[in-house]
Structure 1
Amino acid sequence: MSDRIKDLLGEVADGVEPGDRLDAIRAATADDGRRTGRGWWAAGGVGLIAASVVTALALSTGGTPQGNDPEPAGPAPTTPTGAPTTITDGPLPGDVAGEVPVYFIGDTPNGPRLYREDRYVDVGYGESTLAGVIGVALGRSRDGSPRPPLDPDYRVVWPADTFGTAALDKETGEIGITVGSTNGDSASLRERGDLSAEEASLAVEALIRTAQGVVDREAPVRFYLDGEITDQILGVPTSEPLAAGPDLDVLAHVSLEYPSEGRLVDNDAPFTVRGLGNSFEGNIVTRIQRWEGTAVVAEVPTIAGWMDDRLFPFEVTFDLTDVPPGEYVVISRTDDPSGAGNFDTDTRRITLVD
């Protein structure tokens, strides 16, 4: 590894979202005149580079969205009149600064679904991780500035002036999520506006799953509008606490957990890709290809699972010792027994350094 790259890597802390140093490292590893176009999975595309160039080792660990609204979670022990503002029994699990799962909307061959992205949430100003992560899921920073998903394939569909917070009431076991509008027109959030029914339902589902991921339990979620219980949010009924929907109805059928978008990868060390998937006969294929063009440097099949209404973990490890530095994309996809090429895919851009 060159001294320049070592110096730059020393300025990038693990777990922190990419910043200015990432651009500098990319500049140090990029070829002159590099295009910025993204290479996508192409059936029958360019074959693998000879096996002597790179060896890949695989380790296996392991319906179309109908616009259905999240289902009520069942009767709550009590019916609060206002949103909870404090955590009643000590800190939440993982209530420290760090990476937490956040859900965003992305496209699949069967319509919009939710993808998971681990995001760094800084706990400060008396704010809990749960409160802070809701802002991230809404695409906003603490100061109200835009904070879009790291992966450009994901999106936030909430209006740009939406703010939110959340708290866990440990007496009722409910998570309370409050949303509102900085323009003073919070009542407009009751309707879905220009959103499709699927997008509106998934926007609410994304907040439910993000909040449940922080508290590490399938707690019922009650929604509030400016601190008061509301009968609907984005047209989705919210009179009762809501539960997360069935995984295969709302989640993309393959989702990468690691690497994160823009991750720096040292080609001197084994590179492990981790994710969740559900595919025909459990087949998940992961490949690494050049960011520009479709030249593939490695491809590994593995088995996740499929005989259940959930996503199964998968893991593959690549030896990239002989792969030159530069920009690459990691692509994992499901299988399609119809032969029509209707794969669910998830991608991550990486920068390889030596």
Structure 2
Amino acid sequence: MTHPASPRRTLAALAGAVLSLGLLVGCGDDAPSDVDDANATTSPGSPGTPTSGATASDPSTDGSSGTAEPKVIPVYYVGDTPQGDRLYREFTQSSGVAPLVAAGAAVTEGDPVDPDYRTPWPSGRFVSITQTSTAIVVEVAEESWLEAGSLDTALAELAVQQLVYTLQGTIGKRLPVTVEYDGRPADTLLGVSTAGGLKAAPQLDVLAFMNVTEPAEGTTVPDSFTANGRASSFEATVGWTIEDSTGTVVLEGFTTADGWIDKLYPWTTKIDVSSLDAGSYTFIARTDDPSGGEGGGPTEDTKRIIVE
């Protein structure tokens, strides 16, 4: 998913700044210990500028109304992969809005900073999103949201998982998501059955196998920087390259993730760019492809960076 350098875009509905985090986590049903997107620490800053200090979303927050101190929230978006559409994670701020409200608005109206990401949701907002002791309750404003509309079955199911992963990551708990319309329980959401509550699907069924957390899209980097993310790659091998504005590879290397096969695992590597001229480049991290392209090729995540 390489792409040319592009201006930074912001979340139109939230006016929040994108934040990159060093703690790499997930929120799939297959990995209970990974449901702590909301437990990382960071503080407000420019896109791609890692900082530390403020605590992210409080799992006890009632997201139905009101304002709150800005919180870091994980938002999942759809992107292309060799396996078809999958979910990629990007961080933003709640910007004084209750975290669950901000998370829901980002899913339906968000403008991801990475131009490779998108949301398939119909435009609009939930009436409310609240957390109880047993569930995350979302109330839809439009009856049409109960049906798939123009979405095919696969994309509707992925859009529902996009919401589930985002909301669960925001509170740091694997609570099921239940749906209401006009104050009453709804049987479907985007045509997907809500019976028993919506739960997170296994990571390898819905997440992209490669996701870069740092550097974030549009990051300005010094002579060296730490890149990190999470991946499920053959033998845990994570390859990376840096391309110039012409698409020429100017640096390359690899690192090893903490694991592979069953879910996405954290990876990190320090990269020296002191040999590069100042300017715009593209950082690309990719999974290993032992099939030599026969399996569709590696999964990639790309981030535009600016070398000082």
TM-score for the superposition, normalised by structure 2: 0.75
Distance of aligned partners of 1:321 and 1:165 in 2 relative to their CA distance in 1, 3 Å threshold: farther
Match of 2:300 in 1: 345
Q: Kindly state the Cα deviation for residue 307 of structure 1 after the two structures are TM-superposed.
A: 4.5
Q: Distance in 2 between matches of 1:107 and 1:262?
A: 20
* Alpha-carbon displacement from aligned partner over 1:203-247 (angstroms, at most 9, x marks no partner): 111111111111111112112234431110111001321210000
Q: Distance in 2 between matches of 1:227 and 1:203?
A: 23
Match of 2:234 in 1: 280
Match of 1:120 in 2: 93
Match of 1:236 in 2: 192
Q: Which runs of 5 or more structure 2 residues have no equivalent in the other structure?
A: 1-15, 31-58
When structure 1 is superposed on structure 2, of 211-220 and 294-303 the one drifting more is 294-303
The answer to whether the 8 A contact 2:145-2:189 is kept is yes
The answer to whether the 8 A contact 1:265-1:351 is kept is yes
Match of 2:137 in 1: 176
* Alpha-carbon displacement from aligned partner over 1:295-325 (angstroms, at most 9, x marks no partner): 2222121111554421000001111123111
Q: Kindly state the Cα deviation for residue 159 of structure 1 after the two structures are TM-superposed.
A: 1.2
Q: Distance in 1 between matches of 2:284 and 2:75?
A: 20
Distance of aligned partners of 1:216 and 1:187 in 2 relative to their CA distance in 1, 3 Å threshold: same
Q: Which runs of 5 or more structure 1 residues have no equivalent in the other structure?
A: 1-14, 19-60, 62-69, 72-88, 140-146, 181-185
The answer to whether the 8 A contact 2:18-2:91 is kept is no
Q: Distance in 2 between matches of 1:317 and 1:92?
A: 39
Q: Distance in 2 between matches of 1:226 and 1:103?
A: 27
Q: Distance in 2 between matches of 1:272 and 1:190?
A: 43
Q: Distance in 1 between matches of 2:127 and 2:214?
A: 27
* Alpha-carbon displacement from aligned partner over 1:63-96 (angstroms, at most 9, x marks no partner): xxxxxxx99xxxxxxxxxxxxxxxxx95379x74
| 2:17 partner amino acid | V
Distance of aligned partners of 1:261 and 1:165 in 2 relative to their CA distance in 1, 3 Å threshold: farther
Q: Which has the higher contact order (CA 8 A, sep 6+)?
A: 1
RMSD: 2.5
- Aligned equivalent of 1:310, options 263, 267, 275: 263
The answer to whether the 8 A contact 2:232-2:259 is kept is yes
Aligned residues: 251
The answer to whether the 8 A contact 1:138-1:164 is kept is no
Q: Distance in 1 between matches of 2:238 and 2:120?
A: 29
Match of 2:75 in 1: 102
Query: Secondary structure of 2:155's match?
Result: helix
